[in-house]
Amino acid sequence: MYLRAVTGMIGSYLSYRLRAGNRHGLHSPFVYGLMDKVIGSSGARAEEPIEALRTTLLKSTKRLQIDDYGAGSRVSKSAERTVGEIARSSASRPADAAMLQRLVDHLGLRKLIELGSNLGLTTAYLAAAACRPELHSIEGDASLAAMAREHLRALGLDATVHQGAFKHILPEVLERCGQVDLVYLDGHHTREATLGYYAQVLPYCHDDTVLAVGDIHWSKDMEMAWQELRQDAQVSLSIDLFYMGLLFFRKGVPKQHFILKHP
């Protein structure tokens, strides 16, 4: 059970389930395609080696001293945590990691940034996308960054894990990328920080960039951040998948917001 997915969010989840739509009645071919091939589809290539690694990590009692870089877990604020607890409480669900991988392949996204590598599980899904993207992932905690690197190496996947605070590393990664195709903002879940990273990333986005924001219903603060982001004038399309929100900057289309069912 993914604790960060359920604790304290039951009301928001019930409201989401009541309102979430499926592909019927989707008039936009772009959104229909996303629903058909990316969001509603469970036909991802099985990432068995990554899931085998996750199973091992979930059982791990290895203890790590974690530096708290921002709001990220409801479960434990203590500095020492087991790898198993971290895998349970912080990593994105397999369904979300696989969905992001399908998104990358469906839209041919090539330059990716993940904010919050944690143990590197979603990093691995992104790195394993068929289009073999250039992937930069940022993690503040040194022991987690080292583990993420080690996991990618063991899986034979290519991604750069940068260690340091987002605010220090993100500007140089953005400069290096020039333009970015996907940013997965999955750490430091406060309204202020989320809006700040959005402002930092925006100048490097183009019409086809996708911004994925994790844990949009995780707290009132994050709900507010999500409302503000999707109302931003630059955003033309927003999709609420409950565990994650997707923002698109496509030009020449009317501004639309969707709440869609995602496994």
Ligand X SMILES: C[S@@+](CC[C@H](N)C(=O)[O-])C[C@H]1O[C@@H](n2cnc3c(N)ncnc32)[C@H](O)[C@@H]1O
Report the interface residues with ligand X, using CB under 6 A: 69-70, 72, 90-92, 114, 116, 118, 121-122, 138-141, 144, 165-166, 186-188
Q: Which residues contact 18 (CB under 8 A, 6 or more apart)?
A: none
Contact 64, 81 (CB under 8 A): yes
Q: Which is nearer to ligand X, 1 or 18 (CB)?
A: 1
Q: Which is nearer to ligand X, 121 or 235 (CB)?
A: 121
Cα dihedral 153, 142, 52, 6 in deg (nearest 10): -150
What stretch of H or E contains 30? Answer: helix 29-34
Q: Which is nearer to ligand X, 31 or 219 (CB)?
A: 219
The tokens for 27 are 């008039």
Q: Least distance in Å: CB of 88 to ligand X? A: 11
Overall residue count recorded for the chain in this entry: 263
Q: Largest Cα–Cα distance in the chain?
A: 52
Sign of CA dihedral 156, 157, 162, 163: negative
Q: Least distance in Å: CB of 28 to ligand X? A: 28
Q: Least distance in Å: CB of 89 to ligand X? A: 8
Q: Least distance in Å: CB of 138 to ligand X? A: 6
Q: Which is nearer to ligand X, 96 or 240 (CB)?
A: 96
